[in-house]
Structure 1
Amino acid sequence: MGIKIITDSTSDLSQQQANELNVTILPLKVIFPDGEYSDGIDLSPDEFYQKLAQSATLPTTSQLTPEQFLPHFEAAKSANDDVLVITVSSKLSGTYQSAVIAKDMAEYDNIYIIDSTTVTIGLQILVRKATDLIKKGLDIKALVDALEQAKQRIRLFALVESLEYLKKGGRLTGVSALAGTILNIKPIIEVKDGLVGVAAKARGMSGAYNKLVALTEQSGPIDYEDYICTGYSKTKTNMETFLTYANKSLKLSDALESPIGIVVGTHAGPGVCGIAYFQKG
């Protein structure tokens, strides 16, 4: 009897990383006009951003279905294993609800489902923390309690280079997008209470890097004993520049690096750089 961890592809863990962590990743689908693609399987991040740039309309994403969870739940039931599912925020995707439905279908009580209330690199650091706590010998109930507390300390901020994709997604009016472009406004988004919102705006990339650092500092002290992850979409250039600014006041030399995937990337586009970390308790 063991503990099996399942997460979804919005965690932006590669398959190699998932294998090393002994985590199962279930892929969401990305839907372009020319067809559906399984995230991380049929479409790499590079291929996704190339198609995104060429598409006149934004792709959509489809949540995981109960049927995708069910075989894994039934296998765990046969092996008498505990199952821990950690999903993308339930306010961003119906994936959490699909896992709940699949648990009912499996008729197995030893399935524990956590709504991470975050996404991408924020979800990733919670999954990584879960694997560490299992190695420390926590049983499933202690593990769930620890993660429910830990998720409340996750902070995620990201700098968006272009307003184009926010406009395409209907999250910004054409007039606002045009004004923002003329004024060289760069929004900084955050994931808060399970939703993606604008935390601040700055003029120009230099101002945006400084604002991103300031928001990180103002949100509360970083727990440097826990996971910190910096992220990027399509290219590392902006992330590396952010680190140059950040390292004047933040200790990020040991931070993990990860691509930012389709959920944030669909609406924010390429050139995003971000940071996720645990705030000190």
Structure 2
Amino acid sequence: MKNKVVIVTDSNSGITQSEAKELGISVLPMPFYINEELFYEDITLSQEEFYEKLGEDANISTSQPTPADVMELWEKLLLEAEEVVHIPMSSGLSNSCETAMVLAREYHGRVHVVDNQRISVTQRQSVLDAIALAKAGKTGAEIKEVLEKEKQESSIYITLETLKYLKKGGRITPAAAALGTVLNLKPVLQIQGDKLDAFSKARGKKKAKSIMLQAMKSDLEGRFQEYAKQGHMALQAAYAGNEEEAMEWKKELQEQFPGYEIYMAPLSLSVSCHIGPGALAVAATKIADTE
């Protein structure tokens, strides 16, 4: 008997190849060029190696999976399944979503590309939602509809250790970066929907963390209040190469939000590439209804 719906995502979701096997899904590895050599996240490039190269000031750029790789995977899956639901990283952060949408047209309604503006731990939650919806008997089109309808129902706050990588990527001016470094300013960034935007800035990381806690509290008591009451919000934490510090952060979050089981994972390397090592993040995502 054919599997009805199978789920595909990319490694920006933070789902490793081994975790993908356990979940019964497929994960396309994101390609990286490091000093012009091609690597694939979690296949030929580990988290450790990535941060080592970042620390050596290697020239790192992100790319997107090639159309050939995407189509090859879909075709293999469609031999066994009736439909594919493909959940790429946010269209506001990469062109891979748009590319997938164009490619999906060739498959006459059998491939559904979801553009629900997610990245990292929030993208992972969309994958878990899609698995639950598929198990509940929803079609590919129905799963896409649910996930896209709820695309604004997530929130991420990130604080950085260094301004160097924002400067490198042209997101802030060299003068602002220099001033920020002298004053020990830690920006707090947010992802609400499709883009990485400024949210606040703080003197020192401790203050930055308290700003993030406050922001998340406001979200859970404000815009997500109804979902939170129903137990339909997932709380997540993420970090960039600083596991020990992240464990402390998770503990702080647990104290502030005792009703939540906090899932923590490394930030996807595509994000870390632009913000550098030492970042901490907190995120909340609505869990989709499967009824």
TM-score normalized with structure 2 length: 0.88
Contact 1:65 1:98 in 2 (8 A): no
Matched with 1:43 is 45
Matched with 1:254 is 261
SS of residue matched to 1:143: helix
Aligned counterparts, 1:1-281, within 5 A = 1=2, 2-55=4-57, 57=59, 59-79=60-80, 81-105=82-106, 107-221=107-221, 223=228, 224-251=231-258, 254-279=261-286
Q: Deviations over 1:111-143 (max 9, x none)?
A: 111013121112111111211222233233332
Amino acid at match of 1:264: V
| Unpaired segments ≥5 residues, structure 1 | none
Task: Tell me the distance in 2 between the aligned counterparts of 1:28 and 1:280.
Answer: 25
Q: Deviations over 1:210-248 (max 9, x none)?
A: 001011112244534443221111122332333343334
Amino acid at match of 1:71: E
| Unpaired segments ≥5 residues, structure 2 | none
Amino acid at match of 1:72: L
TM-score normalized with structure 1 length: 0.91
Cα 1:238–1:259 change in 2 (3 A) is same
SS of residue matched to 1:25: strand
Cα 1:252–1:265 change in 2 (3 A) is farther
Amino acid at match of 1:43: L
Cα 1:40–1:155 change in 2 (3 A) is same
Contact 2:234 2:286 in 1 (8 A): no
Q: CA deviation at 1:262?
A: 1.4
Task: Tell me the distance in 1 between the aligned counterparts of 2:260 and 2:77.
Answer: 39
Contact 2:125 2:287 in 1 (8 A): no
SS of residue matched to 1:270: coil
Amino acid at match of 2:201: K
Task: Tell me the distance in 2 between the aligned counterparts of 1:129 and 1:101.
Answer: 24
Contact 2:188 2:200 in 1 (8 A): yes
SS of residue matched to 2:157: strand
Task: Tell me the distance in 1 between the aligned counterparts of 2:9 and 2:115.
Answer: 10
Q: CA deviation at 1:192?
A: 2.2
Task: Tell me the distance in 2 between the aligned counterparts of 1:118 and 1:139.
Answer: 21
SS of residue matched to 1:47: helix
What count of residue pairs does the alignment treat as equivalent?
279
**Seq. identity, %:** 26
Task: Tell me the distance in 2 between the aligned counterparts of 1:13 and 1:76.
Answer: 18
